[in-house]
Structure 1
Amino acid sequence: MSTPIDYSYFVSAHASRRRPALTRELTKRQYNAPKESISLAEGMPNEMTFPFQEINIVLKDGSQFSLQGAVLNSALQYIPTQGYPPLVKTLKEFTKETHNPPNWDNYETLLTNGSQDGISKSLEMIVQEGDSVLVQNPLYTGTEIILKPYKVNLIGIEQDKYGIIPKKLVDALENCKAKYTEEGGGKMPKVLYINPTGSNPTGITMSTERKKEIYKICCKYNIIILEDDAYYFLHFLDTQPVSFLSMDTEGRVIRFDSMSKVLSSGLRLGWLTGPKQLVHYIELHVQSSILHSSTFSQVLLESLMQQWGVSGLLAHFDSVRAFYKARCDFTLASMNRHLKGLCDWEVPTGGMFVWIKVHGVSDVYDMLMTRGLKKHITFVPGHAFMADPTRACNYIRASFSKAPLKQIDRAMKLLADLIREEHQLLRRKFEDLENNIIR
């Protein structure tokens, strides 16, 4: 039996000083109070002053539902910080059914403004200035942006087509251990950020065996895993990937789910699931920043989930997955036509992106950001996703999610032209340099 985790180790000095807001706690209490109770505590506006009578929602399948009466009043009102209670219950049940994590009673759920909000507040809870943070390399650029103000030592762990490489993770941790021992103290990394399904930017989905290895390493070195799985339902595999949450026997995973990629990014709805002791501090941060995520979005999602049921929701996810898989296949076919011999790439196993390695160009930044923009094509230079964005990088991220298919094909053709032009430019520079040396 493993030793219980001391969660205070993962709470920064800044986060540990947060305290509950009494008004927010009373709001939570009032939602569960008996009907006969009378409250003059909340500073809530009266719903009679709201101008909305009814909001009708029509879905693309022709079905519809409306928000009115008490439900509409709830959608337009303040709610507990954790989230709209019926939706919290629904998402808890959905998460349990989907992942069936061990020790389920030790977990709590919190609604967030998309995954980004949850990731940001979780890192703020754990990280202090100067800490070392483990990340997959390349990584989602939004995470690097969160960490930058903390002046952290970002330790990028190399990946292959199965995800981050366990030996590279162990080597990095042992190097930290040796360094801190030599310096007579210091702090080991406390957290590992992972985007395991259809990873942004690589499109990689970590294998189950790889996840098991990574989880064991994190247990050994006492590391919290931040499992950012916004593309979990956009994988292109035959079976649903196994999550880190599903194997979390020790209670060291905070998982981030999102409706942004499968329902609507504008709803700004996500939820995190993690050990109660840690989610408590994240909830306190939400109390002090936004009070709670959009009530209207939460009530809308709860109504939709009741309308569809879990089977209907999963059927919708399947249709979205098929949509992106078809676009991915088209993009790969276009790349084979235009970029073969100029670039290498791994076939994405999920998500919205393909990660392209350019031959013969050590740094793609100027090629894309100067000459590429003049051709009216936009790709993201790989620098934006690297643990050290200052180093030369010959990778490109291409998204196949939104542009019309004809434009994707044209962009790949123009990219091929651009790379050939870059090769010629580099050859001329080399020849000029050679001639100057000879003179």
Structure 2
Amino acid sequence: MMVAPAIGSAQTAEPQPSVPAPVPAAPSEAQPAPSAVPAAKPAPAKVTITPYGFILLQSFWNDGPFSAKDYPGQVLQNHDGGAFLMSARGSRFGFKVALPDDPFTGAQLSGVIEGDFKGGFANNTTTSANWYNSMFRLRLAYMTASWGDASNKFSFVIGQDWKIVAPLAPTSIAFGYDQMFTQAGNLNNRDQQIKAIYDMVSGGVGLNVSAAMLGPQDTAAITGTGTPVVGVTTADYGAGNRSRMPNFEGRLAVNMRDGKKKVAEVGVAGAVGWRRYDNVNTPNTTVDTTTKLGAVDAVFNFPFITLQGEGYVSDGMEDSYTSLLSSAVIVNSTGAGAAAHASSAVNIQSQGYWAQAILKPLDSVQIPVGYGMAQVRYHGAAAAVGTRFRNAQFHTGLLFNMTNPWKFGFEFTRTTSGYNNNQGPATANQYVLASKLDF
């Protein structure tokens, strides 16, 4: 075997005698052997629960007959007069939950559950005494599983959350549970759903793609003689449930960013649903219809002003949202008595929009100014006399922060409701003084 010569030596190094390894010192209490030190255990992952919400008091003064005294959504034609009302029903609380990452899927897990006190009244009574004892209702209850980071993230949302279509909310202190311009161009609603969301940010440009499968929400309007059609009879068995199909929604949005701040965003969205109406006298005969909706939304943030708004067109689907129509499908019938049966389902076509400018002269002051309108374009049948076919709202206010969590505002709304009769539109004004404490 060849042995390489030692570097810097002219002679081959002689083999050195082996030296036995030193005997390790016996462990002592002052200095234990390394093997005797217990390994540090990782801290167990924790579930974090964060409460949030607000206390809201509103004082309403109406100079005309609104159908609901605590929201200027519809003006009645009965000239019943105005009203004064105070309410704390909009007060809200909820919990945000952050869970340890799922070790099997690698997902970041979180959840939200939220409610307020706009769930109606005991025994459905609305006397003055029961107004102050309103019932709790569920607003949100969903979990989120996400993968990725802020620049490239995919998420599943499962539970009750806001719908994808028309995601913007007008700025207001007085109107949070009933958003401003609801029934006047602002489609909004919460629904049980399974939603997939993809967010991507590259440089100063962002992309959002979302799609959802939702539970049907609808009502039934029946015209004609007799009782030939089964409409909405229970909360879990309406015309949409009878179709045996879920509703579907999707939205695509592009946004511009300045760092983490979203400067502008424009989105387009669509929805589709199915409904089935059963004949009572001829149970094997059904009338089916497909409903559709398209919408756009946009928001632009500037240093002293924010501009935002939405618009939509609907073919029989507006009543799946909180909107102008209580029913967006008319079911026609023929015959009378035992011979009565449904003959066709006609989708009511409607459209609407809202736009708002929020002036910000100071960090603690906001002045919203906006307008919203919704109207029926085509109903395909002789709707009942007195049906509301158009609704418009003008809204403005002065909002400011007393301190960081305490907000205070004075807001004004003028609503005009048009009907399919010869009595002309009905107009009324509402003034609101509101105090909101966030926590």
Larger RCO (CA within 8 A; separation ≥ 6): 1
| Structure with greater strand percent | 2
TM-score range, shorter chain: under 0.3
> Scaled by the length of structure 2, what TM-score is found?
0.22
| Structure with greater helix percent | 1
